[in-house]
Every structure is written in structure tokens, then in C-alpha cells.
Copies of this chain bind each other. A is one copy, B any other.
Amino acid sequence: MRVRDDDLDAVTPVDHDDTDIGEINEIIGFHIRLAHGACYRHFTETFAELDLTQKQVSVMWLVDDHPAISQIDLGQRLRMDRATTMTIINRLQARHFLRREKSPTDGRKQALFLTAEGEKVLGAAKLAIREHENWVKSRFTDAEVKTLMELLARIHE
């Protein structure tokens, strides 16, 4: 019962399935966006119960790895500007996963620390991350994963 609409413009010499998108399919940026979207959706599903976003998990992870890190440093490592970093820190602080302290060495900076609850949540998040990673990696060999990581890293420097 599915109506095919491919019949009126079947001119492009590419595969034509239900989701043929023509020459835009050759644009690498387009594939990066689609792949990111697919990842984002699966991540959101996986973290629905924990109610955490990618950024929030990344921030907690980094704060755990680097206690007393400043917001600006955090933002630079995750490629976020100060305003975006603020939003995320505020949210995590409101949920008592993280706390701000005045940096003793630089009065401008805030020193960030996970709370005990934050540590607990991060532990659960890391388990969910593993599940999410397996979802991504399930379609690749180990060598392909290595290659993909290497190529992606070259894009974001």
C-alpha cells in the first residue's frame, strides 16, 4: 500500500530505496549530521531513566577526572562557551550532583567538585555509557572502531 514517489524523478544514478536522498548523499557533512542524530537519539533513550544529557554526563565525567577544575577549562575541553557551560553547571548543581567552590588560587575561578550523589549518578551513567557504546560498536570490527575514532578526531582536531 506504500506509494512510491520515486517514479517522477528517478534520474540520479544512486541506489533508490525508500529513503533515497540523491546527490546530497555524497556530502560528508550530511552523513556526520545523520550519524550524530542517530547517536543522539539512542543516547537519549539510554539515559531517559537517569534523565541526563550527553553534555551533563561529559561534564560530570570531567569534573570527576579533574577535581577543582574551573568552568572555563571545562568548557574548553568540551568545546563549549562560557554561557553554555553555565547552563549545564547550574542544572547539575540544582540537582545536587556537583558543587561550586571559590578557587583558593584564583578568585575569578570556581572550583568544581562532584557531590557524593553526583559520584553515584556518574557510576550509573558510566554503565549506561557502556551500553550506548556497545550499540554503536556492534556494527563495527575493532579495527573499524579504531579507524573511525582516528578519522573523527582529525575533524575536531
Contact = CB atoms under 8 A, between A and B. Distances in A.
Nearest to A69: B5
Given A65-B9, A67-B8, A33 B39 contact: yes
Interface residues of A, number: 66
A57 B75 CA distance: 29
Contacts of A2: 68
Nearest to A105: B3
A78 interface: yes
Interface of A: 1-3, 5-6, 8-9, 12, 18-24, 27-40, 43, 54, 58, 61-62, 65-70, 73, 76-79, 104-105, 129, 132-133, 136-137, 139-140, 144-145, 147-149, 151-157
